[in-house]
Amino acid sequence: MQIAIVGLAGSGKTTVFNTLTRGHAETGGYGGLTLNVGVVKVPDPRLDRLAEIFKPKKVVHADVTYVDLPAPPASTEGHVGTEELPPEHLARLRESDALLHVVRAFEDAAVPHPSGSVDAARDLEQLDLEFVLADLALVDRRLERLVASGRHGTQAERDANEREAAVLAGLKSGLEAGRPIRDLGLADDDAKTIRGFRFLTEKPVLVLLNIGEGDIAAAGDRAAAIEAGYRHEHALVAALSAKIEMELGELEPDEAASFMTELGIAESGLDRVIGLSYRLLGLVSFLTAGPDEVRAWPVPDGATAVDAAGTIHTDLARGFIRAETVAYEDLVTLGSMAEARKAGRLRSEGKTYRVRDGDVLEILFSR
């Protein structure tokens, strides 16, 4: 899973990136072109409990890759700003599974805002519009190609082109009205037709308001105020102070805990952002546990036992026989797989079983 951190210049993207990755990338770069990439382990206390029971050689967390991108240049007549990002950056952006859109909401005279004033709603809309324009440019180019090649090829090819053109025409009118693709309620078939384009406004988005150090107590209210004017599908809004969170990340755990109590922060920003991105992406984790390894595996909510097997290894999906399944809570209450079996809490599930968050699975398969 990869999440792209996007936002206007100086909104705090790199500070957020550092918070999430415990990194030390340079901040305050003002439009520099560095791209930062970091892999973050998803905190999961269940793995620690399972490790106590199974004493495995290693514990493997699910991970998320965060990519911190420079702000795209603003669009001008005839140029779509986002498309002028260096090709590697644009590719990174397109291949990401979700966007973390950082919006400046902190006042700080020492950090001048490029537009002269702090206005989170305005900035949010401005970058959203850039992404709409980038998708629209891509749709237009593809439609032109389809028209040009429309009369060539086999009947089947021509039918496929026609279908694709119809779906794209629908996107075009939505985008021209300023609507992101994630709002258009595409049918599954249509979504599949356009999957290869990796449209930016189709990706789920977590809007992260970067609020001032003095506003932490009002974080919930600030997020709610923006959310009220941001009625979109597959979008969540949260608020935190990136600067404080970064400082917290640099403290020893007990120091950090007392500083958090002092500031009235219940949960670290890292845990919250990761939790929210999981929800946004519709992911759940199933777990595997044994003497070699205790591990969390992210899968889309709705994944079946055979999908889960395939996440571990394609061979497990191909030769799938059944999944021995126990809920995490039952396993830790009963203390071992053997006890879970005796208590009748270990179930045998078939291919179409829908995996739940926290299921501990053992896949039986034939080679």
Ligand X SMILES: Nc1nc2c(ncn2[C@@H]2O[C@H](COP(=O)(O)OP(=O)(O)OP(=O)(O)O)[C@@H](O)[C@H]2O)c(=O)[nH]1
* 3-state DSSP assignment of residue 49: helix
Tell me: does residue 11 bind Mg ion (CB under 5 A): no
* Strand boundaries in 212-263, DSSP class E: 235-240
* Strand boundaries in 218-334, DSSP class E: 235-240, 283-289, 293-300, 320-327
Q: Per-residue x/- marks for ligand X, 269-308, CB under 6 A?
A: ----------------------------------------
Determine the length of the chain: 367
Tell me: does residue 7 bind ligand X (CB under 6 A): yes
Tell me: does residue 112 bind ligand X (CB under 6 A): no
Is 166 or 263 the residue whose CB approaches ligand X more closely? 263
Residue of 6, 9, 11, 14 that binds Mg ion (CB under 5 A): 14
Tell me: does residue 14 bind ligand X (CB under 6 A): yes
Tell me the C-alpha distance between 330 and 67, whole Å.
37
The site for ligand X, by CB under 6 A, has a size of: 24
As a 3-state breakdown, the chain gives helix, strand, coil percent values, each rounded to 5, of: 45, 20, 30
Q: Which does 12 bind (CB under 5 to 8 A by kind): ligand X, Mg ion, none?
A: ligand X
10: left (phi over 0), alpha (psi -120 to 50) or beta: left
Choose one: 5-13, 39-47, 217-225, 299-307; the region binding ligand X (CB under 6 A): 5-13
Tell me: does residue 36 bind Mg ion (CB under 5 A): no
Cα angle 50, 56, 62; round to 5: 65
Tell me: does residue 89 bind ligand X (CB under 6 A): no
- Residues within window 66-85 making contact with ligand X, judged by CB under 6 A: 70-71
Q: Which does 71 bind (CB under 5 to 8 A by kind): ligand X, Mg ion, none?
A: ligand X
Find, among 7, 53, 11, 356, the residue nearest to 211 by Cα: 11
- Residues within window 29-58 making contact with ligand X, judged by CB under 6 A: 29-32
Is there a contact between 31 and 9 (Cβ–Cβ < 8 Å)? yes
CB atoms within 10 A of CB 116: 7
Choose one: 23-31, 50-58, 151-159, 359-367; the region binding ligand X (CB under 6 A): 23-31
Q: Per-residue x/- marks for ligand X, 214-243, CB under 6 A?
A: ---------------------------xxx
CA 45 to chain centre: 20
Residues that bind Mg ion (CB under 5 A): 13-14
Residues that bind ligand X (CB under 6 A): 7, 9-15, 27-32, 70-71, 106, 108, 111, 210, 212, 241-243
